[in-house]
Amino acid sequence: MPPDAHHFLHRLDELHLRFQLHFLDHVRLTRNLRQLDALILESQALALDAAEAARLLPNDDWTRVSLAQQRRLEVYEDARGAIAQAHAVAGLRDREASLMTARGRLVLHRYVRHFAGQTRRTRDPGRLKEMIGDLLALWKHLEPLATRLQVPSVAEEVSAIGQFIGFFLAEQEELTKAWQSGSRFEQAEGLEEVVANLQSDWQALVLSTPRELRRVALLDRLIATLDQALEHLMALRHANMPEELEVLVQHAAELLVAWQDERALTVAAQDSAPVDDAALHALGRDLYVTWRQQIAGEKAKRDRQWLAVHCDRVEEVERLLTARAGGLENDELAWLRDILVAMERSYDGVIAAQEDARQ
């Protein structure tokens, strides 16, 4: 029995989803023409297969299949022309810079999720320090390109990365001040939330990930921030911290010991069984499938906190693969970064829908 029209419509939808993920609303200079050519060839092959199936099942809804395939193929070919034109007028430096600024935008999305609109005394300064490091690493490669770019829009994107580094550095200073601002009770209350947030991150990003697939730098960041929070809490306790929060000091101290032990076990696991890229690729794809399952239904009813954490989990895989690639671009990294863009857009859409629903 040959496949019916519904089967081909489903395959066309899957193909179009790939186009949307990897080409729709992306900066054209960052797009891979080879990948789009493969997608176009697959669309054309589907049309031939559908024509053969239509010959064997002439009474099915083949007109719908043909129209969908033709319309979408036109979209793909138009996109290819626009991308090829963008590549033709730009130099290799513009393309390299555009790829790096695209990664910079992912850092900015991370800032929006974790810092924008939040009370400073409850935020993790270690996370912001890490983000500054990410942008500075990009800037190290961007700065030499900045004066030799041919496309004005790319030069503007590069300049924006430099401006955000300055903004983040100023914000880091404000966060440091915020931890020590307000009354002792307000400081302790803020630190209580900091510890709770760190514990949530540890559960979601560390304990939910096999030891051999963890980023040790993430564990170090969480441990360092917890240690910093505990130090502040100890200072407040010596200054007559409210008795009802005394238990927080003990809780933070116990967490610190447990996390340091878990770090040692993680390092030992990675030393004894080094992970290969295939395991990280598989984890990234599993996370993507889970995300696709979770975003069904109305945006206003989606769990924004779950989406935020899931972005963090995919980012961890991307960071590990980026480090292992030594700064080189490859198909798996490009795919994962496109997934992150889609997830960030989904998160933004959920926030907007929930805000509209409250009005």
Q: What is the pLDDT of residue 202?
A: 98
The whole-angstrom separation of Cα 68 and Cα 19 is 14
What tokens does 340 get? 């992150």
Q: How far apart are alpha carbons 13 and 68 in whole angstroms?
A: 9
> Rounded to two decimals, what is the model's pTM?
0.90
Nearest CA to 204 out of 306, 282, 342 is that of 306
Which residues in the chain come in under a pLDDT of 70? 1, 239-242, 244, 296-300, 327
- Give backbone dihedrals phi and psi of 348, rounded to 5 degrees, phi first: -60, -40
- The whole-number pLDDT of residue 184 equals 83
pLDDT at residue 337, rounded to an integer = 94
pLDDT at site 9: 95
Q: How far apart are CA 303 and CA 103, in angstroms?
A: 25
Q: Is 285 helix (H, G, I), strand (E, B) or coil?
A: helix
**Secondary element (H or E) of residue 287:** helix 277-294
Is residue 3 within 8 Å of residue 57, measured between CB atoms?
no
Distance CA 136, CA 165 (A): 7
Structure tokens at 130: 């890490």
Pick from 161, 180, 146, 155: nearest CA to 111: 161
What are the C-alpha distances in Å from 38 to residues 93, 132, 206? 25, 37, 37
CA 79 to chain centre: 25
